[in-house]
Amino acid sequence: MSSTTFRHRERALPLTNTGVMKMARTYSDCQFNHQSYSLLFPKIVLIYKAIPSSISNAQSNRKRKTFSNMSGAYGKVNEADQARLQARRKTRRRIAIISLSFIVLATIVVAAVFGSRGSRGDSKNGGNGGVQPISSSIKAVCDVTLYKDTCYDSLAPMANSNQLQPEDIFKLSMKVAIAELSKASQYFSKNGIFKGDADKMSVAALENCGELLSLAIDHLNSSLSSSDEVSVIQAVDDLRTWLSSAGTYQQTCIDAFEELKGDTKAGVHDHLNYSSELTSNSLAIITWISKVANALNLRRLMSFPPNHEEPEWFHVKDRKLLQSSDLLKKKANIIVAKDGSGKYKTISAALKAVPDKSKKRTVIYVKKGVYSENVRVEKEKWNVTMIGDGMESTVVSGSLNYVDGTPTFSTATFAVFGKGFVARDMGFVNTAGPQKHQAVALMSTADQSVFHRCCFEAFQDTLYAHSNRQFYRECNITGTVDFIFGNSAVVFQNCNILPRQPMPNQQNTITAQGKVDPNQNTGIAIQNCTILPYGKLDTSLGTYLGRPWKNYSTTILMHSNLGNLIHPKGWLPWSGTTAPDTIFYSEYKNTGPGSSTKDRVKWKGLRSITDKEAKKFTVKEFLRGDKWISDTGVSYKSSL
């Protein structure tokens, strides 16, 4: 398509549906693609900036009269009433702004519909340039996805004239993805097409796939439900996180068969290819909506809680309780002790007593001792806080590993699925040893999970930060190969990262980040941490900061102290001699003898970043952690 020049118009259009549509028709004879949408933003922003003042002026007199009437009828309004009234006013105002802003957001698609008439013909209309609005709207939105044909072919037959706005098309894309993923998951059931596979590892991997696809469907359903309950703009951070995780679950299923032989590997990929593309398309659409909203300066309006209410379980006294380890132990709902002084002797038994999907926090105190069990915090167990007597005193130990026939995803000594999980003062160990290769100490897929003053000890694949949003503070992490890995959005603060002696012919690599889609909001951020050897380590072997597991691998080290164990090249390719240009690696203002970037690898994806760019990987911006970490009682640094 040819590039487009738009005539500048000084006169602002009226803030109405008609005005917005008129603006769209201004470009009706233009040909442009989505890269040209940025040219619309000045006009759109001009309208948007008028919204707050228009609403404020229109409502001010009415609000003054309302408040005056309340004061006259009931006497002096107390401070609490004023605060509640003010909160309601702000909420109504924000909702109004968001609603009107969606009109503006829809303008982009409307403009695409009109603008595409000059460049796209419709075979059903004889190629005369007449394009159906539904078809054009779908094409306009699908143009931002990675799999455009899949997007259009899956959505066009299901759309109707009431589903032309981006929000509607996004919801429709999720419904299509859920339907396809539900269909694909049937292949991995006990009675599915792979039921005759006798290979032990394949059977175990297929069982993993069944669970992973169930988690993916849960996340897609959560995304759809959330977008029905509040506006997409309000829920955009959650939606991007859950859709990123849904894609990660499907990729993990595929990864489980990478080293296996036979027809099963190809069959798994074939059955998940379509659902993976549909999930990616939904993610691309919500990411695009997010970018448009950012361009309209709507970020501050995106995720405020309705009615400004705190979680049901959270009060001031709860925060004080969560901040004190001693108080937590005294007020614990459940006590676990190997010596019989608690209600339960195993952690697994205690978790069965936790109510499902509870909005109230359940505190489990695990007394000192070594608990030799493989623990799962199931996905129905929400808001669990587990506290021990110290990372070296309360230890959970296991030895499952890949060499002995367990897929990496299932080797974890401690696996967390339930959202809102918090662990404090505990140790998690996998004792399999380096010769057993992949052997995970802790794996978390739990959204908004927090680990404080915990220890994670193993060799290869120690800490599997699999998916969703995670935060680690003042933890010790020990390992050899890829010992911090996964595809979550995760921040490590004030942690000790401790590479240990690997096997002969092995090289230590600290991170292996698994971002597979450019629209995923995932990555590993290491902030204010220390990287030093664990015990005796032959530094001549070289320890690398990481290697790119997937094509969009994203890892940032900032304000951290790097010991002399770090190899001058800094980073290691996954295979071959270089890395994909699409990765995002960066080292920002680190210190210590291993922090010099003079001899680092010369990869396009190893970038120098500004202060502004570095802030994008902090708790505040990367995790939106100010909204949920503070409620756990764990200290954290919000920004740089």
Would you state the pLDDT for residue 86? 67
* pLDDT tens-digit readout, 200-214: 788 888 889 999 999
**Of 11-25, 102-116, 457-471, 578-592, minimum mean pLDDT range:** 11-25
Token pair for residue 542? 């070289």
Q: Range with the lowest mean pLDDT among 7-16, 343-352, 621-630?
A: 7-16
Q: What is the DSSP letter of 622?
A: I
The confidence score (pLDDT) of residue 94 equals 59
604 CB neighbour count, 10 Å cutoff: 11
Own/partner pairs, 59-63, CB within 8 angstroms, 24+ separation = 59/93, 63/89
Please check the confidence at residue 7 and state whether its pLDDT lies above 80.
no
Q: Which of 47-56, 167-176, 366-375 has the lowest mean pLDDT?
A: 47-56
Q: Helix axis angle, 166-185 relative to 200-229, nearest 10°?
A: 150
Q: Greater confidence, 474 or 163?
A: 474
Query: How high is the pLDDT of residue 266?
Result: 77
Q: For residues 85 and 78, what is the distance between their CA atoms, to the nearest angstrom?
A: 11
Tokens 């240009």 correspond to: 581
Pairing of strands 427-430, 369-372: unpaired
Six-digit token pair at 290?
């997010």
For the cut 90, the answer to whether the pLDDT of residue 53 exceeds it is: no
Give the integer Cα–Cα distance in Å for 536 and 222: 47
Is 235 or 191 the better-scoring residue by pLDDT?
A: 235
Return the closest-CA partner of residue 192 out of 123, 249, 267. 267
pLDDT at residue 71 in the model: 43
**pLDDT tens digit string along 576-619?**
889 999 999 999 999 999 999 999 999 999 999 999 999 999 99
Query: What's the mean per-residue pLDDT of the chain?
Result: 81
Mean pLDDT of 341-345: 95
Average pLDDT over residues 419-429: 98
Going by pLDDT thresholds of 50, 70 and 90, the confidence category of residue 91 is low
State the pLDDT at residue 85: 65
Do 80 and 92 contact (CB within 8 A), yes or no? Answer: no
Q: Band the pLDDT of 255: cuts 50, 70, 90.
A: very high
3-class DSSP state for residue 211?
helix
DSSP string, 168-218: HHHHHHHHHHHHHHHHHHGGGSTTSTTTT---HHHHHHHHHHHHHHHHHHH
Per-residue pLDDT, averaged over 451-467, amounts to 99
CA distances from 591 to 146, 495, 587 (A): 39, 15, 10
User: Domains (ranges, CATH) in the chain?
Assistant: 17-131 (no CATH), 148-301 (1.20.140.40), 358-632 (2.160.20.10)
Which two three-digit tokens encode residue 365? 């105190």
Measured from the Cβ of residue 425, the count of other Cβ atoms closer than 10 Å reads 22
Task: Report how far residue 275's alpha carbon sits from residue 270's, in angstroms, rounded to the nearest whole number.
Answer: 10
Report pLDDT digits (tens) over 561-574.
Answer: 999 999 999 999 99
Residue 517 a catalytic site member: no
Instruction: Name residues whose C-beta falls within 8 Å of residue 565's C-beta, 6 or more positions apart in sequence.
Output: 499, 508, 531, 532, 533, 537, 539, 542, 543, 594
The residue type of 618 is T
Amino acid at position 77, single letter:
V
Burial letters for 82-109: b for 16+ Cβ neighbours within 10 Å, e otherwise? eeeeeeeeeeebbbbbbebbbbbbbbbb
Mutual angle of helices 148-155 and 263-295, in 10-degree steps: 80
Task: Indicate the pLDDT class of residue 38, thresholds 50, 70 and 90.
Answer: very low
- The pLDDT assigned to 26 comes to 40
The pLDDT, as a whole number, for residue 368 is 97
Among residues 168, 255, 482, 517, the one annotated as catalytic is: 482
Mean pLDDT, residues 463-490 taken together: 99
With cut-offs at 50, 70 and 90, classify the pLDDT of residue 82: low
Give the pLDDT band (50/70/90) at residue 105: low
| Least confident piece of the model among 48-52, 150-154, 186-190, 547-551 | 48-52
